[in-house]
Structure 1
Amino acid sequence: MDLAKELKNRLKTKPILLMTHLVLGYPSLAVNREVIRQMTTNGVDCIELQIPFSEPIADGPVILKANQQSLESGISVEECFSFGQEMAAAFPQVRFLFMTYYNIVFKYGEEAFLHRTKAIGFCGTIVPDLPPEEGQSYLATSKELGLAPVQFFTPTSTDERMRAVAAQGAGFVYCVARRGVTGKQTAFDHTLDQYLSRCRQATDLPLAVGFGISSREDVALLTGKADMAVIGTATIKLVDAQGPEAVGPFIAGLLAGD
């Protein structure tokens, strides 16, 4: 499965795609299961399932707390694989990816981790703390297996760096909307427009924009400038405040009026 090609096909009938994120085991796998059901039945295209890690350096306080509480409850990598396999089988219309940090991959065994990811029906991985220069075996094994090793652009990336990074990845490029960690509100201004224009010029891969995307207005402002909006912290906050049943209407509302 060529993820980039599939996403481009989906864009023929949708103005923008949605990718959501949740932390496995927070607050429980049972709640994760219901949240994913709500997401998949309301138009989400991709879901990144985060395997919890004790030091998630790219994540803000909401996702950090979710990682810590999931680990305290005893979630294991094996449970994450089993749950992921169940979700990929139950919701074949959605593309699932694992998001985690390289320590998890390294401890499990890089080849074993990637082979298992492929075997359970996932289409790729997102490992934010592994630059391509340090991940050549990870990149090569991913591509051999047909998995997308998603790479990152940041606002501080030079045009040359963007082209070099994109050439190493597959599936789509995750464009970090601003400096810092996840969860803070992103300013949708001329600076962001210029950045996304640079991203577009650097690669033919679809562009997914995340960090601080939380409303229908945010998604509307990204439409036409990016291919996929990434919603993470907003849904975790929503589940904490209102329960998993609030997720479906929220997701449906993100695309309302488009």
Structure 2
Amino acid sequence: MQRISRAFQQAREAGYAALMPYFTLGYPDAPTSLEVIEAMAEAGADLIELGVPFSDPLADGPTIQHSTHMALEKGMSVRACLELTAELRRRGVRQPFLLMGYVNPILAYGVERYVADAARSGADGLIVPDLPPEEAETLEAACRDHGLALVYLVSPTSPPERVALVAGRTGGFLYLVSLTGVTGARSELPPGLADFIARVRQVACTPLAVGFGISTPEQARLVGQLADGVIVGSALIEAAGRDGHPAQAAADFIRALKQALHSGG
């Protein structure tokens, strides 16, 4: 959790919002996903969200759904994802890792076992989009025991009392879903995003990172002027799958996002 806080602090002191790209572990296959994530780290990602494939990713749009389906077809599992996370650490990737996955695989694996193995693999926190705080006491306790952040999400439709509750329970940062809908590249930012961020800022004590629908460097720049972190997933996966050099394409896209964030600070 301290590494997550330090990443946001370092970005803030440098005058820009932290960049947190998402990539699905095992897509399009395990070796390629490792190469892509290494390239993202070298290109300047501040934190990295590692997608744990699941057969029913209800918060995700077509791009991430396709990537998780392909990863599962190639044999990816929770255990394999943790092994890839550990391999990334062995290869020298130092950025904080957030494992983004759904609750059913965690329950099937075993909550305590999952958190302990995640910590051993080098993860710094968990994002579980379909787990509300009211049902998360066991996972929260395990995360506290093993020093991991459990990151919660709020959306534009969250009422003020709900925002205050979630903001008080989240660890590391608060994930702001920019729109009502699933993940996926969008042609423009949703109206009202600035007001939503300002509303959450009034009650949050942690950094605010915005995800869902951020597709271009210009959109990242605009969000970075309002929030502490910018999360990009679907557009990155699309860029990586556009030609035969996914690691290079991902690195180029990360550099473009970083340049925009620096210019908007």
- Structures share a fold, TM > 0.5? yes
CA 1:189–1:116: 2 relative to 1, 3 Å: closer
Q: Tell whether the 8 Å contact from 2:163 to 2:200 is kept in structure 1 after alignment.
A: yes
Q: 1:4 and 1:163 mapped to 2: Cα distance?
A: 21
CA 1:214–1:190: 2 relative to 1, 3 Å: closer
Counting only pairs closer than 5 Å after superposition, residues 123-142 of structure 1 correspond to structure 2 as 123-142=124-143
Matched, 1:86 2:67: no
Q: Which runs of 5+ in 1 are unaligned?
A: none
Corresponding residue number in structure 1 for 2:257: 254
Q: 1:77 and 1:5 mapped to 2: Cα distance?
A: 26
Structure 1: which 4+ aligned runs deviate by more than 6 Å?
none
CA 1:98–1:8: 2 relative to 1, 3 Å: closer
Residue identity over aligned pairs, in percent, reads 37
CA 1:8–1:37: 2 relative to 1, 3 Å: closer
Q: Tell whether the 8 Å contact from 2:187 to 2:215 is kept in structure 1 after alignment.
A: no
| Number of residues of Structure 1 aligned to a counterpart in Structure 2 | 258
Q: Tell whether the 8 Å contact from 2:178 to 2:190 is kept in structure 1 after alignment.
A: no
How far is 1:4 from its partner? 5.0
Corresponding residue number in structure 1 for 2:6: 6
Determine helix, strand or coil for the equivalent of 2:200.
helix
Compare 1-10 and 66-75 and name the one that shifted more.
1-10
Q: Tell whether the 8 Å contact from 2:240 to 2:250 is kept in structure 1 after alignment.
A: yes
Q: 2:21 and 2:90 mapped to 1: Cα distance?
A: 18
Partner AA of 1:69 in structure 2: M
Q: Tell whether the 8 Å contact from 1:4 to 1:206 is kept in structure 2 after alignment.
A: no
Q: 2:256 and 2:185 mapped to 1: Cα distance?
A: 21
Partner AA of 1:33 in structure 2: L
Which whole-Å deviations, capped at 9, do the CAs of 1:113-172 have from their partners, x for residues lacking one?
Answer: 001111111100000000000111111221222110000010001121111011111101
Corresponding residue number in structure 2 for 1:219: 220
Determine helix, strand or coil for the equivalent of 2:242.
helix
Corresponding residue number in structure 2 for 1:46: 47
Counting only pairs closer than 5 Å after superposition, residues 1-258 of structure 1 correspond to structure 2 as 1-3=1-3, 5-10=5-10, 11-185=12-186, 187-188=188-189, 191-242=192-243, 243-244=245-246, 245-256=248-259, 258=263
Determine helix, strand or coil for the equivalent of 1:15.
coil
